[in-house]
Amino acid sequence: MLTDVIEFRIDRRSGTSTYMQIVQQAKQAMRLGLLNPGDRLPTAREVVEATAINPNTVLKAYRELERDGLVEARRGLGTFVTKSLSSAATTGDDAPLRQELTGWMGRARQRGLLVEDVDALYAAVRDEHYPAEERR
Amino acid sequence: MNPLTATAVGKRYRTRWAVRDCSLAIPEGKVVALVGPNGAGKSTLLRMAAGLVRPTTGELRTFGTPVNGRIHPDVSFLPQNRALYRELTVRELARACAAMNDRWSAGRVREVLGLLAGVDYDAKVATLSAGALSQVAIAMALGRLPRLLLLDEPLSDLDPVARDETLRIIMTEVADRGTTVVMSSHLLSDLREVCDHILLIDEGRVQLTGDIEDVLAQHRILIGPAAGESAVGGTLINATRTERQSTLLLREATPAPEGWAAIEPDLESLVMGYLRASRERRSSVQRA
């Protein structure tokens, strides 16, 4: 019996649509190396049993992941991850970029920045480096 | 083929029209939220689709066949009063339903009842709580192995745990069998997470219908200076105004003019805008 690799959490009060929450959580799990090529995503039925959402929503999210070339639906078998989004740069606590960010975050806290200040700074610098169409 | 269509359907009780000039088509496999305030005509529409009420005008079809005073074999209906034989036990009720239906899955009923906490097979139907009664009635509706499931206020009597259980059962049915579901509620928040299609009725008429995402994408809320409304293009659904500011709900809006902010509405504000508009139409008719 296959054990589920990940479980989706649906926040009903978040402004983000349910299907987008599933897309984002799957991508996040892939970036963090929790989902790797060959892993099976939970079936629509499994998600529905766990979260009481509409199975059509789950299938819609999986179709979007398929369009992005990240997963592949195999008839009668399920939906499988085909691509890796994780890299040495994002996986593990000792990734160099993560360590740099950890250092920066520590200094921000030491200087008395609030979480809102940190978020605002991060978003401003991110937006300078990544054009709007790359952000979604 | 559409599981349910209505063409210019109306139902008059004495002098009052409960449903009026109602045309709609429900696509297969959708989970439809039938929403509207109390008295909007939701129950009448569902009862007509189930063959319990004859329309005064127009025609309803289920799976292409005119509904002519009897329910289609592929349709199950959960009435708002949960009409069940109250003197029977749950076990006897399941047997009676099996005997009355040509197609029946006792296994499916057992499976559904088994998923529900706290339904006692030997309890008399009359002694069940309102919530348990709803759940037993849904189990019986699923026993017919329907391709179209019509549920009138399925969640209204349920506490949060029973509500969650019931939604899981209905959604699992959709996942397993691709069943089309139409469920009504006067509370949009009950249905928001589980439905992909909306049918909003008020004053007996269809106010808004379509896939929720398409419907949301077709509308914009524009917020701007009260003096500048003439610069805004699109079909105005509803407006709220203060001395300085106008908040406009528009369908097919043109891009926001200088000085205006445009946002995509959430489903709650969209429904509220349409209901306000229908109320304003009614009160202006009454004033005239």
Which tens digit of pLDDT belongs to each residue from B110-136?
A: 888 887 766 888 889 989 888 888 889
Minimal CA separation from A104 to chain B, in Å: 35
Predicted pLDDT at B69: 87
Minimal CA separation from A99 to chain B, in Å: 38
Residue B26 has pLDDT above 70, yes or no: yes
Q: Is A56–B164 a contact, with Cβ atoms under 8 angstroms apart?
A: no
Residue A82 has pLDDT above 80, yes or no: yes
Predicted pLDDT at A66: 95
* Closest residue, chain B, to A20 (C-alpha): B213
Q: Output DSSP code: residue A72.
A: E
Predicted pLDDT at B42: 94
Span of A59-68, B82-91, B136-145, B170-179 with lowest mean pLDDT: B82-91
Q: Please give the Cα distance from B203 to B201 (Å, whole number).
A: 7
Q: Is A55–B168 a contact, with Cβ atoms under 8 angstroms apart?
A: no
Instruction: Determine the average pLDDT of the residues in B258-267.
Output: 89
What residues have CB less than 8 Å from B124, skipping those under 6 apart? Answer: B86, B87, B88, B89
Residue B190 has pLDDT above 90, yes or no: no
Q: A17 — contact with chain B (CB < 8 Å)? A: yes
Residue A6 has pLDDT above 90, yes or no: no
Residue A1 has pLDDT above 70, yes or no: no
Beta-strand relationship, B245-251 and B235-241: antiparallel
Residue A2 has pLDDT above 70, yes or no: no
Residue A85 has pLDDT above 70, yes or no: yes
pLDDT digits (tens, 9 = 90+) for B213-260: 899 999 999 999 988 888 888 999 999 999 899 999 999 988 888 889
Residue in A49, A53, A55 nearest the CB of B193: A53
Instruction: Determine the average pLDDT of the residues in B79-107.
Output: 89
Confirm if A51 and A8 have CB atoms less than 8 A apart: yes
Q: Is A12–B164 a contact, with Cβ atoms under 8 angstroms apart?
A: no
B148-187 residues touching A, CB cutoff 8 A: 164, 167-168, 171-172, 174-176
Q: Please give the Cα distance from A63 to A72 (Å, whole number).
A: 9
Minimal CA separation from B99 to chain A, in Å: 31
Q: B268 — contact with chain A (CB < 8 Å)? A: no
**Contacts B168 to A, Cβ<8 Å:** 48-49, 52
Q: Is B31–A52 a contact, with Cβ atoms under 8 angstroms apart?
A: no
Predicted pLDDT at B34: 96
Instruction: Determine the average pLDDT of the residues in B50-61.
Output: 96
Minimal CA separation from B31 to chain A, in Å: 8
Instruction: Determine the average pLDDT of the residues in A83-100.
Output: 77
Residue B148 has pLDDT above 90, yes or no: yes
- Whether the ipTM is more than 0.85: the answer is no
Residue in A17, A43, A53 nearest the CB of B171: A53
Closest CA to B155 of B178, B175, B137: B137
What residues have CB less than 8 Å from A78, skipping those under 6 apart? Answer: A40, A41, A43
Span of B55-59, B179-183, B186-190, B206-210 with lowest mean pLDDT: B186-190
Instruction: Determine the average pLDDT of the residues in A95-122.
Output: 90
Residue A133 has pLDDT above 70, yes or no: no
Residue A43 has pLDDT above 50, yes or no: yes
Q: Bigger pLDDT: B86 or B202?
A: B202
Predicted pLDDT at B78: 94
* Closest residue, chain A, to B167 (C-alpha): A52
Q: Please give the Cα distance from A72 to B98 (Å, whole number).
A: 42
Predicted pLDDT at A134: 64
Residue in B164, B171, B193 nearest the CB of A55: B171
